[in-house]
Amino acid sequence: MQESCHEGLLSHIGQAHELFHIIQYENMSYAARMLKSQWKWFMEGSAVWAEMVTLPDSNSAKDYAKAGSDFVHLGLDGLGGASDDQAYASAALFDYLEKQHEGAVLRILQAVGTLTWPDDALRTEVGDVPAFLEGFALAYFGGQVAPYNGWDLSRAFLPPRALVNPSTLLIDRGLPPESIIGVRATTDPRTQPPVSYAEASGSVLRASHKGGFQRTLLLDSAGKVKERLDGLGTPEGIALASAETFTTVNPLVVIHVNGHPAGDYARNPSVVFEVPTLDQVTPATFHYASAVDLTATGGGFGDGAARGSLVVFYQEYATNQWSDASVTAKLPANIVTPMDVPVVVRHKAGVDSNSRTVTVTGD
């Protein structure tokens, strides 16, 4: 009996899918029908959406998403090159679109019928494309909104990142216009992390955006935006909690939305997680009456946009050399009395590294 019911559901799913194709064709001119192979993502994605609406208990969209959820990486303009799996999985986009703009699927279909490309019709429908993509990204990747919270979206995320070093590259790839990508990162309990993961005052999320319509979003456990980096602002990054707090039960979840319009070139956002980690300070000993160039080496200090300061005995000093792994500052003579003094590297985002000491000698 159960097998018979299952077969019946599959039959109804197929019927709903094919019926919607008939509706599509009835609304399309002959010339438009000739372009259907180039509009596969619209033809198949909206037909799967019709299955979702007609038969809410069906799992076909969920199954398609498992294999093709990375369609969001292609960008709206690139969906014409979607694989079969990606085309069918784009039902998620139509599901969100229809919930935000009731009747949108039919209006796009009518526009397509008169030879408007479906991605252009979608842009007209939503108006503010970057805002629409951000809303969809939060619903899709946030893990809280049905039906996406019950889908396997592993392919939509980059491979998981392990936080085991002072600097961890989260996203570093060219992203097409109007595309979305996500990444998750956690500490690895099998690996001894740098001491800074526990002793630094926090960690940093930094995005080297290449354009004003790029958005990097840090999500909280409820799938809401906890922190955001918009456009070309805040190149130094934003301060986050201690690195050791990002575990498998509380992962770092980052989404990047490239809202640049179609026809623009791919953007490489270079999103990085940094923990200022101080390994050594040289010279380790110096006389208080002599000016000295103090060099701190380690990692996670950030590049030029993150250029902060060297802090010696709670006093900040401007640096004359800065890289992700080494910073140098000139310490004037007679500025510190003879003693062991703490030194930290202060990231431009305001996060201090773990501390090391140097010895200041007297006469």
Structure tokens that stand for 238 in this block? 């934003």
Q: How many helices (H) and strands (E) does the chain have?
A: 10, 18
Q: What is the mean pLDDT of residues 6-34?
A: 80
Residue 314 to residues 10, 196, 301, Cα–Cα distance (Å): 69, 18, 18
* Cβ neighbourhood burial of 116 (10 Å; 0-12, 13-18, 19+): middle
How many CB atoms sit inside 10 A of residue 270's CB? 16
Q: Where are the beta strands (DSSP E) in 107-187?
A: 161-163, 167-171, 179-187
Q: Are residues 176 and 247 in the same domain?
A: yes
Among 132, 154, 176, the domain-final residue is: 154
71 in the same domain as 203: no
Residue 186, domain extent: 157-274
- Same domain? 243 vs 287: no
Q: Are 218 and 299 in contact (CB under 8 A)?
A: no
Strand partners, 272: 169, 206
Same domain for 125 and 38, yes or no, is yes
CATH number of the domain enclosing 330:
2.60.40.10
Domain total of the chain: 3
**Domain stops at, among 256, 274, 292:** 274
Same domain, 197 and 244: yes
One domain, residues 128 and 196: no
- Between CA 40 and CA 312 the distance in angstroms is 62
* Contact of 45 with 118, CB cutoff 8 Å: no
Whether the pTM exceeds 0.85: the reply is yes
State the Cα–Cα distance between residues 157 and 73, nearest whole angstrom. 9
pLDDT in tens, 93-131: 999 999 999 999 999 999 999 999 999 999 999 999 999
Residue 250 and residue 121 in one domain: no
**Residue 312 CA: distances (Å) to CA of 238, 294, 323, 354:** 23, 9, 18, 13
Sign of dihedral through CA atoms 86, 91, 93, 94?
Answer: positive
Same-domain status, 150 and 165: no
**Same domain membership, residue 209 and residue 191:** yes
Q: Check whether 6 has a pLDDT greater than 50.
A: no
How wide is the angle at C-alpha 42 spanned by C-alphas 37 and 43, nearest 5°? 60
Do 292 and 327 meet the contact criterion of CB atoms below 8 Å apart? no
Encode pLDDT of 217-252 as tens digits.
Answer: 999 999 999 999 999 989 999 999 999 999 999 999
Which of residues 154, 182, 204 is at a domain's end? Answer: 154
- 292 and 256 in a single domain? The answer is no
Same domain, 270 and 288: no
CATH of the domain at 270: 2.60.120
Residues 120 and 175 in one domain: no
Residues sharing a CB contact under 8 Å with residue 14, sequence separation 6 or more, in sequence order:
none
Lowest-confidence pick of 31-45, 123-137, 258-272, 313-327: 258-272
